[in-house]
Amino acid sequence: MTDGVLQEYMGACQARVEQALQRWLPDVRLPPTRLHAAMRYAVLGEGKRIRPLLVYATGAALGTAQGRLDGPACALELIHAYSLVHDDLPAMDDDDLRRGRPTCHRAFDEATAILAGDALQTLAFQVLATDPTLDTRAEVRVRMLEQLARAAGSRGMAGGQALDLDAEGREITSVELENIHIHKTRALIRAGVRLATLLSDAGEDEVARSLDRYAKCIGLAFQVQDDILDVAGQTAVLGKTQGKDQRQDKATYPALLGLDAAREKAQLLCQEALTALDALDAAAEPLRRIARYIVSRNR
Amino acid sequence: MTDGVLQEYMGACQARVEQALQRWLPDVRLPPTRLHAAMRYAVLGEGKRIRPLLVYATGAALGTAQGRLDGPACALELIHAYSLVHDDLPAMDDDDLRRGRPTCHRAFDEATAILAGDALQTLAFQVLATDPTLDTRAEVRVRMLEQLARAAGSRGMAGGQALDLDAEGREITSVELENIHIHKTRALIRAGVRLATLLSDAGEDEVARSLDRYAKCIGLAFQVQDDILDVAGQTAVLGKTQGKDQRQDKATYPALLGLDAAREKAQLLCQEALTALDALDAAAEPLRRIARYIVSRNR
């Protein structure tokens, strides 16, 4: 895979999950129409779709048909989208711009944005509970639902956002910062790999453990790169407000380690992720390319 | 059962679900401690626990061991509690008082309340996905998770709240009002009966259909009575601000039908609920008492 090939692969995954999300999101003509419009606005269109990408690439590495992976890909993107809608609210990060457009509460209103986030979370669980194309045993489905709940809840993503808010305006250590991101970002990225592994019946074997090691490394690398881009990126390319973390006096890796050391950390995590895949064959090539992309992307 | 016996039964169910919720809610000493404190604050202590009560009473009517019903009872109460936390937010109903205490965003802060609600919803699904005491097949667990998601989502409870907000400040018909409450309140009450029916393996038989008819009637009756209490009740007894709906110019049954006709509607729904239980034996006595209680309660 050249980078062009990765771009093509990413484009195909993005198109695939976009179609699946289109099907799962409620029709805007159905009441409550404003709520449904807000849900679709928050999810469809732009978005890197990193979590779905990891679901498809992990499934590919394990020889699982792509069609069976749409459900977990959608579920994770719905959880991610709900968290963005709520994180952008005035009481939280108070952001006006997301994915190059007004945030959900700006485009609609705060009450609708709160409810849209709530309903998107519910829909994520509904997808995993009902999607017939998963084509798996009920026992596997239940384990996937469990993993999604653990990754999203107070000891996962939501907890990470709480730790992040708690850290605002005070000095924190790099250990604390890492703990925030282990929960806030990594938990859901790791769940992407985990759900695809469960669906592929890889269970708890050596390959599953390798994939989890990979996921832990790129999950953290993703956030380090996000922080780097907040310092060194451009608003127009990012689609969100550049420099916002700095102005809000948020702890970031570049702020704590310096920009060069943060870049080095991202590279080391990428290397570690690639090493974790050593025992996997050429089918894991998309996963390898994704690791390199995550620490080299400019948005 | 005399009313005293119902009080005792309700007290036993309340104690039972309180204990189960205590076990499921994250320890306040675990980080993020403030988030966990807010989650516990929003759920534990006061609360009528109507949805858990219906789970236990339906299970009793079908001969299911009470210990197997703690999971669905908790899951529904967690969804209910999350919805109260979010509905009380300044951007929504902007309420200061709930269950006789400051609302969650008053006792903590808005960001924490948003996240606590989010994490409570996640926990509800986690409980159904993982509770070993359900003691049922994975297929049944998946169907219960599906029902919970449908009842809570944009075509259920969250959608009802959106319809309610949309109706504020404008004239609506009694058909529209009923549609709001079918989603906002009834969906989750109906899910209580439904989850217990599924767990009892009553599936789609005649008894299951009777129980669903019962649930539809009392679900609506519950909201009619709530509206009546907002007009005719007392803040100190209610534990929430009396007269709030009127002041906010919200559509209510008494406002649309008059107080007497609203009371009559509640009584008719109660009668219809009781008729639906005609074919059930004495084990359904708690369900019958609950129907009468719902339209005679003063809080």
Are A166 and B36 in contact (CB < 8 Å)?
no
A248 touches chain B (CB under 8 A): no
B115 touches chain A (CB under 8 A): yes
CA triplet A257, A260, A266: central angle to 5 degrees? 80
A-chain residues near B163 (CB < 8 A): 31-32
| Cα four-point dihedral sign B53, A114, B116, B235 | negative
Q: H-helix or E-strand containing A97? A: strand A97-98
Residue B138: CB partners within 8 Å, gap ≥ 6? A137, A138, A139, A141, A142
Half-sphere exposure in the Cβ direction for A264 (13 Å, CA): 5
Q: Name the residue among A112, A137, A158 with its Cβ closest to that of B118.
A: A158
Are B165 and A111 in contact (CB < 8 Å)?
yes
Query: Taking a C-beta distance cutoff of 8 angstroms, is the pair B30, B170 a contact?
Result: no
Q: Please, which pLDDT band fits residue A170 given cuts at 50, 70 and 90?
A: confident
Q: Which phi and psi angles does A97 have, rounded to 5°?
A: -125, 135
Give CA–CA dist A50/A17, Å, rounded. Answer: 11
Closest-CA residue of B relative to A184 is B32
Residue A163: predicted pLDDT: 95
Q: What is the mean pLDDT of chain B?
A: 93
Closest-CA residue of A relative to B163 is A32
pTM: 0.95
Closest-CA residue of B relative to A141 is B142
Q: At A101, is the secondary structure helix, strand, or coil?
A: strand
Q: Average pLDDT for residues B99-122, to the nearest whole number? A: 97
Residue A228: predicted pLDDT: 93
Q: Name the residue among A34, A138, A150 with its Cβ closest to that of B138.
A: A138
Give CA–CA dist B24/A246, Å, rounded. Answer: 38
Q: CA dist B231 to A65, A70, B253, Å?
A: 58, 49, 10
Give CA–CA dist B204/A97, Å, rounded. Answer: 48
- pLDDT for B243 beyond 80: no
Query: Taking a C-beta distance cutoff of 8 angstroms, is the pair B187, B163 a contact?
Result: no
Q: Please, which pLDDT band fits residue B245 given cuts at 50, 70 and 90?
A: low
For A:1-30, CB contacts with B below 8 A are: 26, 30
**Tokens 């989850």 identify what position?**
B195
A-chain residues near B148 (CB < 8 A): 125
Amino acid B29 reads R
Burial category of B146 from C-beta neighbours within 10 Å (exposed 0-12, middle 13-18, buried 19 and up):
middle
Residue B240: predicted pLDDT: 63
Residue B168: predicted pLDDT: 85
Query: Taking a C-beta distance cutoff of 8 angstroms, is the pair B145, B71 a contact?
Result: no
Residue B183: predicted pLDDT: 95
**Tokens 């709930």 identify what position?**
B98
Are B117 and A118 in contact (CB < 8 Å)?
yes
Q: What is the largest CA-CA distance in chain B?
A: 51
Q: Which phi and psi angles does A101 have, rounded to 5°?
A: -130, 165
Query: Taking a C-beta distance cutoff of 8 angstroms, is the pair A17, A49 a contact?
Result: yes
Residue A236: CB partners within 8 Å, gap ≥ 6? none
Q: Please, which pLDDT band fits residue B232 given cuts at 50, 70 and 90?
A: confident
For A:140-199, CB contacts with B below 8 A are: 141-142, 145-146, 148-150, 152-155, 158-159, 161-163, 165-166
pLDDT digits (tens, 9 = 90+) for B250-266: 778 998 899 999 999 99
Residue B248: predicted pLDDT: 64
A259 touches chain B (CB under 8 A): no
Written as six digits, the tokens of A67 are: 């069609």
- pLDDT for B99 beyond 90: no
Give CA–CA dist B197/B58, Å, rounded. Answer: 7
